[in-house]
């Protein structure tokens, strides 16, 4: 069954955004992520921030990238829920870690954090509704 048919067959909260809306939100967020994450990694290469500051960014990037294969490839709702909790918690960690060095990078994560907070509640709800 194609992923969209599988996704549409799941029980979801009434407030679930459409796949098109979710895609549009990510089209806005990915450039913010690219610029801010790229900046932090370049600053670490230039030794302007400790490499430890990049750790939550790296974990977040990996967790973000593997969400789609877990959710729609493996169709593993519980594992996708764990993954999105990692994404959510590392955003907080990123903001705290980078704040003393580059506050604008921390502030730039606010839209990402807001969306992932909503997406986390959605994912946990979908997981609970489809046990």
3-state DSSP assignment of residue 37 = helix
Task: Please work out, in degrees rounded to the nearest 5, the angle formed at the alpha carbon of residue 101 by the alpha carbons of 97 and 107.
Answer: 70
pLDDT tens profile 82-94: 999 999 999 999 9
Which residue is it, tokens 């990123």?
94
Q: What is the mean pLDDT of residues 39-67?
A: 98
Q: What's the pLDDT score for residue 1?
A: 87
pLDDT tens profile 111-129: 999 999 999 999 999 999 9
Q: What is the mean pLDDT of residues 4-14?
A: 95
* DSSP secondary structure letters along 90-125: HHHHHHHHHTTT-HHHHHHTHHHHHHHHHHHHHHHH
């Amino acid at each position: 069954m194609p992923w969209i048919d599988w996704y549409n067959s799941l029980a979801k909260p009434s407030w679930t955004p459409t796949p098109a809306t979710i895609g549009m939100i990510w089209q806005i967020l990915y450039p913010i992520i690219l610029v801010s994450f790229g900046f932090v990694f370049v600053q670490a290469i230039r030794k302007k921030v400790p490499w430890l500051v990049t750790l939550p960014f790296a974990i977040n990037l990996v967790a973000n990238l593997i969400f789609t294969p877990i959710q729609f490839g493996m169709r593993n709702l519980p594992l996708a829920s764990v993954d999105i909790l990692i994404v959510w918690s590392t955003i907080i960690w990123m903001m705290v870690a980078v704040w003393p060095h580059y506050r604008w990078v921390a502030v730039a994560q606010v839209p990402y954090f807001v969306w992932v907070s909503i997406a986390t509640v959605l994912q946990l709800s979908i997981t609970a509704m489809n046990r």
